[in-house]
Structure 1
Amino acid sequence: MNTKTTAIDTYLARTAAIHIKVARLRQLADNHFGHNLDAIHWGHAGDLGRVDQALDDLLAIFDDQAK
């Protein structure tokens, strides 16, 4: 019995985990990340700026690989 994990097994498991996290991020974004819009301050805007930059960085990595 071979119980050794292969690269494709790990890749597919991580892809599934990413899909779950992206779906959760979408849910949070649809709910304004749990923030009351009347109480938004620059800290909230800054947090989303960092998230936006991190997503751009990830897209740059994978968009370049797709080319």
Structure 2
Amino acid sequence: MNRRTDETRPARSKGREEALDHFVATVAKIDEVLGAIKAANDEHYGTHPDEVHWGHAGDAGRVLAGLKEVLDIIEGE
């Protein structure tokens, strides 16, 4: 029978605490990035409609593709 000792529990607990700290910090950074993306999107990425060309359209498509990839990760696909 494989029993865990009390000596292994604090290390496991510490590892989980470190993982939680890292997760919370990462989520906060994600919020910052999402805010910056939203602000840039609201301002049409600093591009005036009269200046838009296929390069801008391609960049917007790349942003969308990346965001869809992120959503796939979140949804477990």
TM-score range, shorter chain: 0.7 to 0.9
Q: How many residues align?
A: 62
User: Over alpha carbons, which structure has the higher Rg?
Assistant: 2
- Give the superposed CA RMSD: 1.7
Higher relative contact order (CA 8 A, sep 6+): 1
Q: When the two structures are superposed, what TM-score results if normalisation uses the length of structure 1?
A: 0.85
1:57 has 2:69 as partner:
yes
Query: Equivalent of 2:56, from 37, 40, 44?
Result: 44
Unaligned runs of 5+ in 2: 1-14
CA deviation map 1:3-28 (0-9, x unaligned): x8701001000000000110111011
Task: Note the C-alpha offset of 1:48.
Answer: 0.7
| Gap runs ≥5 in structure 1 | none
- 1:8-53 per-residue CA deviation (whole Å, 9 max, x = no partner) reads 0010000000001101110110000101111000000000101100
* TM-score normalised according to structure 2 size: 0.75
- % of aligned pairs identical? 35
